[in-house]
Structure 1
Amino acid sequence: MPSPDRESDVVALVVAAGRGLRSGQPVPKQYAQLAGTTVLRRTLQALSATGRFSRIAVVIHPDDRLVYEEAASGLPGMTPPVEGGPTRQDSVRLGLEALASDPPGLVFIHDAARPLVSAALVARILNAAGPSHGVVPALPVSETLKRVHSNTIAEDVAREGIWAVQTPQAFPFGAILEAHREAQAFGRSNLTDDAAVADLAGLPTHVVAGDRLNIKLTTPADFRMAELLLERLMETRIGHGYDVHAFAVGSAVTLCGISISHEAKLHGHSDADVGLHALTDAVLGAVAEGDIGDHFPPSDPRWKDAPSAQFLAFAVERVRSRGARLVNLDLTIVCEAPKIAPHRAAMRQRVAEIAGLCTDRVSVKATTSERLGFTGRREGIAAFATATVQVPAGEPPEVPA
């Protein structure tokens, strides 16, 4: 078995095949939105950001392949997903079997429903790992414990020595794979975590301090708690965008993806949608990702007559790929003609569709320049835009045991 000492031998296996029936969400909880991003994507981003894993594998439900592909899109180090089984234990075993053709030295097994896992916790587990034992994070129970029957207290339960175990749980790969195979062979298929599987096989498991922020999303209250935590861990940034295009011979202009009849068109290498160009620059600016020309240079023939919706969609995806959240878009169009007011509702709706926002988070306004300057002389149209984005402020503070 390879030594687990090198970080390149460490793989994360994320279990995401469950249905999450207690979460109160309209979809399986790992695909529910958490502060504008799916739970699974947040979990994968958190693990990837630690820099500790050579690969990340995910076990999914057979019905979830399309939503999984969207959740994992663009993330580094992802391996093809593995279809899970009827129980968590079955899903972990199937995930381990899929890794067996290129076995790592160490595997971290993590629940998809714990999206607030920190780099410090991963490092603490890795530092305690070894070739002959597993490692789990855990928290001592501090509340008074009671055994309850029919809503009536039946007896006290001593809390001394009682710990609440979390994930990720790390094990030498070969040992935990054999432990899962043995459990299946003996018909033990309902063990609640991998430490129990290891114990059944005689593989010792060490405990390190867990993190109280590493909550598991199970109920609607857990989702609300996670939302509150993420709000505290986000910082607000504002990006500004400006664009201008001159009129040319034509019969319509495209503004915010809407074609508007006019005595001229706007001149540009793409569709010259001055509104979407300004919005694109505002979104890119909020996350310091350059400007529209950096990503879609006018010298590239691929963008000739291209619809500008793809530019804004790209900028929004750059925001989401960083675990950030687009909150609001505000656009001001400056022109004498055409009249914008009759088209504002359609423009707002189209921008909202492209950006994945509700229309009440998109503002489109118009003004004239009182016949001053190039817009006043009806030589072209200008647009100013701002984008408000919430960005992770960095590694969340730990609240260890």
Structure 2
Amino acid sequence: MKLHRLVFILVFCVFGLSATAQTANELKRKKEAIQREIEQLQKNLSKTSNGKKLTLQQINALNAQIRLRQDKIGTINSEIKNLDNQISQNTNTVHTLQGQLGDLKKEYAGMIRFAQRNRNSYDKMMFIFAARDFNQAYKRIKYLQQFSQYRKKQAGYIENTQRDLNGKIVILDRTLKEKSTLLRDQEKEKERLGKDKNEQAAALNQLSKQEKQFKRDIATKKKQEAQMDRAIKLAIQRAIEEERRRVAEEARRRAAEEARIAAAKAKAENRPAPAAAPAAKAKTNSELLTATPESAKLSAGFENNRGRLPYPVATGTITQHFGVHKVDQASMNNEGIDITTAEGSSVRAVFEGDVFMVNLIYGQYFVVIKHGDYFTVYKNLRSVSVNKGDKVSTKQTIGTVANTGDVAELHFEVMRGMNKLNPEAWISK
């Protein structure tokens, strides 16, 4: 029974530590990814910090860097908690193994004392002949045979348990060192977070001195965004109206043909011509945009990949999220997300579809890709490598990102018909 308990404890610990190791690896990968984003932001900020004029991109990058630093500290806390669980498990295992080892040694010592008392053949023969009958004598012979084998096994159990105990002590020691290292990293990150917040405070103080210029910059950006949005919505509206006319014309032709056939049949049967069929119910914008089987399939595919679409750039950090944002006294409604990335980064389609629109406004290209009744919008491109009407595949390069205020920043939107959706609900985490 004790051996079974020991085996159960060891199996439980192996599976428990395996699951913990998996979590530890995931946390390590997450921490490394956050660090890469922080380094990219710092690289961009170092380029812009020498400029006298503060930009919205700098403010957003500083805010994003603080968020990432806080995420990294949170990840380190999770790693420490994970290590604490490992330390607790390993400590309990060490104590259990020490107890098992003590019990095994006691049992083995008892066997040695018994063997010492019955070490010669005469004593063994006397032990057998002292049996009250043949059956008991036979059992005693078998006992003496098995006793020798069991004693050897017991010695093996002691050796294995001692080896497992030593291994767990080594792991425990290594885990404690890892925790110590993580605690030092945590303190360094907290120190860096404090510096980031001081830098943010200095930037906001500088912003208050440049308030008028900053408000003008935001007003200019709003104007540019509004012009691009009008162009996109007009193009979508035209596509809807063209489809509506096509559907109406097709319905009219079909109704006329059906009426002609019905009138001819009625004349042949010498009865009055039937009344015209009632007009079909008007289709919604979504139904018009998915009128063809290909468009309907694209729309369903896009919707089924909600939360799993790739980023529109290979690496980057969201520096401004969807919704209304206020910086000092100026506010702005972001109808997409802004992703800061490396200079010259390729912009890629997040899903297969048809290039619906390619346009150039204020020296910036923007591309719209149609996925049934869904659209993805890619703004602030320096160059484009697709044309209207092209079919694109998932992750296909469609252009390169331009610099805004010395920062490479892509503006990305997701639309369903005319409605703007939060892109973060659609792209992979």
Same fold (TM over 0.5): no
Higher strand share: 1
Q: TM-score, normalised by structure 2?
A: 0.24
**Structure with larger Rg:** 2
